[in-house]
Amino acid sequence: MVPDIDLAWRRGIRPEPPVPVSDWADRHRILPPTSAEPGRWRTDRTPYLREVMDALSTASPYERVVLMKGAQTGGSEAGLNWLGYIIQNAPGIAMLVMPSLDMVRRNTTVRIDPLIEATPALRDLVASPRSRDAGNSLFRKSFPGGQLVMTGANSAVGLRSTPVRYLFLDEVDGYPGDADGEGDPVDLAIQRTATFRGRRKIYMVSTPTLKGHSRIEAAFEQSDRRLYHVPCLHCGDMAPITWARIRWPEGRRDQAHLVCEACGGIHHEHEKPRLLAAGEWRATAEGDGRTTGFHLSALYSPWETWAEIAAEHGRVRKDPARLQVWVNTKLGESWEDQAGDTVPADPLMARREDWGEALPASVAVLTAGVDVQGDRIEVQILGWGRDEEAWVIDYRVLWGDPSGPRLWADLDMVLQATFPHPAGLDLPVRAAAIDTGGHHTKMAYEFCRTRLARRIWAIKGRGGPGIPVWPRRPTRTNKGKIPLFIVGVDAVKDSVYARLRLTEPGPGAIHFPRRLDADYFRQLTAERVVTRFERGRPIRSWQPKRDGERNEALDTFVYAHAALHGLISMGLRLNEEVEGVAVTPTPTDAAAAGVIRSAWLRR
């Protein structure tokens, strides 16, 4: 044989070195300067990840590794270590699937390229992303003996592109329910590994979402369900770190600590590293022998303290929408869905309030939602206070022909109106979201085109799981060639219906003025959640309670809520705005009041 061919042949038949992923990471992984803790990777920093990573090693008997996690626990970093291990130690075809193609582009720039560039063991194996090598792009990284293919769960073409031995499914609960009409994206991706059965590795990682609809929870339930037990430093009892064991003195969440249920011993935050180092994973179910599953809450994270998690719980515990996020991201647990339950209109109507001609003093920001019908335009203006407490400020039906300019001029006047505030300010509508997906789309596009500077945004609502309330960037693939924002209406409706049940003022509560009539409340509560099954998977959607029932009050509320999130995506800090408005000028200081009013109107 020719020497070079002989060498390549020998390398091809050489068994993969029995190196665990955690050992590879400790020897070779370098975290880039943009990381929270740049420098050499140390598994001892997150000892609970050692067994997760080693289950992904080629010598491990497990085919599927499931990590249901909270935020800031390192689950995705463990996946990156595995990819580095594959590139250098066990080459083959690997696929990384993220919720969308946009997220793939961002992840490649922020995480994959820095992983390769910062780690000398990988740098020479993958072509520079600045070269013209087709093997190194946003969606593909080639290396000797294999390649890493990256795609979005919203792309059926990417999911059925090639057979793969290694499959990394990141944030699976953010995947859409269907990929381009071809079925569940997880099923499509796993089908790519069928030819490697017995040698394949599938890593599923995600924070969970809704109970009964969470992919990661369903996968975890099919596994051996491992929990990380840590010892009591007083009596030695081994138990998981759970929220029930986190306690604090009355009114002092900043002193949160861990309590042993066996002896009552107290463990403070500075003792967490000792607890984690002495911990071990213990299976709580038999499983199928091929799937191992790990549950990990943010209570284990070295980057979040028990006090910080307890303080955040104190801020969100009365607001179901934000409490759900806390349960999902901090406890790593699914949320029991209550948003879909029927909300009766009459009790909401009975909660109407009188607050006079001026805005309620707690309101700091106004947004509007606009719905276009065949013979009218409906507008709802919401006022927002601390922690997204909301007030319905105005609701109007503008009758006329939306195909002509007069009705749109009337809408423009409504959106230019200002509202007196007790602090001596006249608050304008800071942003408006106009639905363009129904009647008179062309006129809606033209109206928004010339008013972008006033943050009057063209939107289109889209239902389904995994669609954010407000997108990171608009699309221009529309007939009007204008920025079009795709709004995740299901996520907003979940939040609104959960908050409608709040009866006390405070975070997330919704207030209604006396002038709203019964028809408004019937429209606001006109929908419910329906779950249907497609190919055995539950699909959750919002549907009218009764056919033909009007729901414009709900739609415009949803759009105004989305407009607030549009402002937040641009940097608005709602609670700081509330504090700014709370400074009331004295009656004699009219000049100062005028300066403040002018500053607000310029925003």
Q: What is the pLDDT of residue 9?
A: 53
Q: Is the pLDDT of residue 491 over 80?
A: yes
Which amino acid, 281? W
| Distances in whole angstroms, Cα of residue 377 to Cα of each of 414, 434, 512 | 11, 10, 21
Q: Is the separation of the CB atoms in 123 and 117 below 8 Å?
A: yes
pLDDT for 69: 97
Domain ranges of the chain: 12-228+278-303, 351-515+550-602
CATH for the 12-228+278-303 domain, from 3.30.565.10, 3.30.1330.10, 3.40.50.300, 3.90.660.10: 3.40.50.300
Helix extents (H) in 162-303: 185-191, 215-221, 272-277
Residue 197 pLDDT: 86
- Indicate whether 588 pLDDT > 60: no
Indicate if the pLDDT at residue 340 is higher than 60: no
Q: What is the mean pLDDT of residues 358-377?
A: 95
The pair phi, psi for residue 110, each rounded to 5°, is -90, -30
pLDDT tens digits for 392-420?
999 999 999 999 999 999 999 999 999 99
pLDDT tens, position by position, 102-120: 899 999 999 999 999 999 9
Question: What's the rounded Cα separation, in Å, for the pair 296 and 119?
Answer: 27
204: which 2 tokens? 């599923």
Paired tokens of 61: 């008997």
Amino acid sitting at position 556: T
Average pLDDT over residues 276-301: 95
Contact predicate 175/140, CB 8 Å: no
Give the tokens for residue 327.
């349960």
- pLDDT tens, residue by residue, 138-193: 899 999 999 999 999 988 888 877 899 999 999 999 988 877 777 889 999 999 99
Name the average pLDDT for the chain.
89
Largest separation between any pair of C-alpha atoms in the chain = 98
7, pLDDT greater than 70: no
User: Is the pLDDT at 596 greater than 60, yes or no?
Assistant: no
Confidence label for 515 from pLDDT (cuts 50, 70 and 90): very high
CATH class of the region 351-515+550-602:
alpha beta
Structure tokens at 213: 């609809």
Helix (H, G, I), strand (E, B) or coil at 106: helix
- Average pLDDT rounded to a whole number, residues 230-255: 96
- From the list 117, 73, 490, 137, the residue with the least C-alpha distance to 321 is 490
Q: How far apart are CA 123 and CA 117, in angstroms?
A: 5
The reported pLDDT for the residue numbered 597 is: 37
Query: Would the pLDDT of 128 be above 80?
Result: no
Question: End-to-end CA distance of the chain, in Å?
Answer: 75
DSSP-based three-state secondary structure for 230: strand
